Amino acid sequence: MAINSKDDNIRVTDSRALNNPGYPADAMLAALAGIDDGVIIVSASRVVEYLNAAAERIFRPVSHKRDNMTFIEFVRDYELDTLLRRCMETGVKQSAMIRMHQNNILLQITVLPDNARFCYVVVIKDLSEHQHLENIRRDLISNISHEFRTPIASIKLLAETMIENDGKDPGLSKDFLEKIVIEANKLTQMTDDLRELAEIEKGKSAFNKGIINIRRLIELVVRRLEAQAQTAGLKVEIVAEDDLPRPVIDGNRIESVLMNLVHNAIKFSYPGGKITIGANQDDDCILISVADTGSGIAESELERIFERFYMVDRSRTGEGSGLGLSISKHIVAAHGGRIWVESKEGSGSTFYFSLPLKA
Ligand code: ADP
């Protein structure tokens, strides 16, 4: 007898199990169908008697055959089959981490004997998301140590040279001390950025929202970076109406997004170039853009520049941590907006971000 519940993914193909007293009732089957872990019940002759939706999702069976399908036919994995056989031979619960050869997914498997019902319960936890987060954590730690190593090594070298010099050349000491301060500032900036990023990611960072005049905010940023743009030989233009609808945003945070974008535009531009900062209403959003006539970004790098620590060419600028765009992305997302870039290598970039008008 084959029983299909209302959910097509729940199948009990062998009536023996159902006839056993205590076998999960309908409610239990519905619960099993809804959980994220895969559950497969296998008979003593290794035929799949029950499987839930998660098990289907994990193993994506190649065949539509369901009746009398053996465990190995369903999972198509020798190691997993061996684990089941070991449980059958020993009558003892077996657990293992198995990476499936067909799709490289990492699984935590537990096989339990159910002696009362002459069957075996295989519970499968998909660890791919967990592994993905673990990889991010590992990359982050290795990136942080890599980024910190350079300024720390510079500070060490400068200090050692000063010790060797033993105050004989006061001019050199002053120069080196100034360089040490620059390197220490870089470290401070990186720790501040990292802390801010962590807080925003955790959603812990408090956003202090108010009704903000975007044109005024852009003018403030331009004023703050004017001297830097002039030194770099760049013209800055604002193209934004004064009477744009005013979004409810955290003015300080959005200012720091703009600061980062304009600062990058200055950093990656050539003398004689121009930076245009625009704002306009686009449906129910305010769309802000920062366009430059600088180096541009290769198409293959466009997505990656929003990742933590990603810098296209580290040798091009001595400053920067590669964290600015990552922080900006999180700030904009926390306002319900989106940030992206359009660019052509060699002919400049335009960064856009949207801010919804309905808070
Ligand atoms: P940082 O500026 O500290 O390096 P960001 O996260 O702000 O870090 O930027 C990451 C990278 O994106 C930069 O190192 C650079 O390679 C690239 N980038 C950002 N803005 C521009 C721009 N306007 N023109 C060209 N490349 C840019």
CA of 123 to the centre of ligand 1 (A): 46
Is residue 108 predicted with pLDDT exceeding 70? yes
Token digits of residue 50: 């029950």
The total of other beta-carbon atoms located within 10 Å of residue 196's CB is 17
Mean pLDDT value across residues 51-79? 85
DSSP assigned state of 120: E
Counting Cα atoms < 13 Å in the Cβ hemisphere of 329 gives 15
Least confident of 39-48, 146-155, 203-212, 289-298: 203-212
Sign of CA dihedral 163, 164, 167, 169: negative
CA of 317 to the centre of ligand 1 (A): 9
Q: Sorting pLDDT into bands at 50, 70 and 90, what band is 55?
A: very high
The pLDDT value given to residue 41? 94
With vertex at residue 186, the alpha carbon angle to CA 180 and CA 191, rounded to the nearest 5 degrees, is: 125
Residue 135 and residue 282: Cα distance in Å, rounded? 38
Residue 14 and residue 23: Cα distance in Å, rounded? 12
DSSP assigned state of 254: H
CA-derived radius of gyration, the chain: 30
Residue ranges lining ligand 1, Cβ < 6 Å: 260, 264-265, 268, 292, 294-295, 297, 305, 310-313, 320-326, 349
Q: Which of 186, 228, 325, 330 to mutate to test ligand 1, by most ligand atoms within 8 A of the CB atom?
A: 325
Is residue 278 predicted with pLDDT exceeding 60? yes
The pLDDT value given to residue 320? 67
Whether 343 and 295 have beta carbons less than 8 Å apart is answered as no
Residue 177 and residue 179: Cα distance in Å, rounded? 5
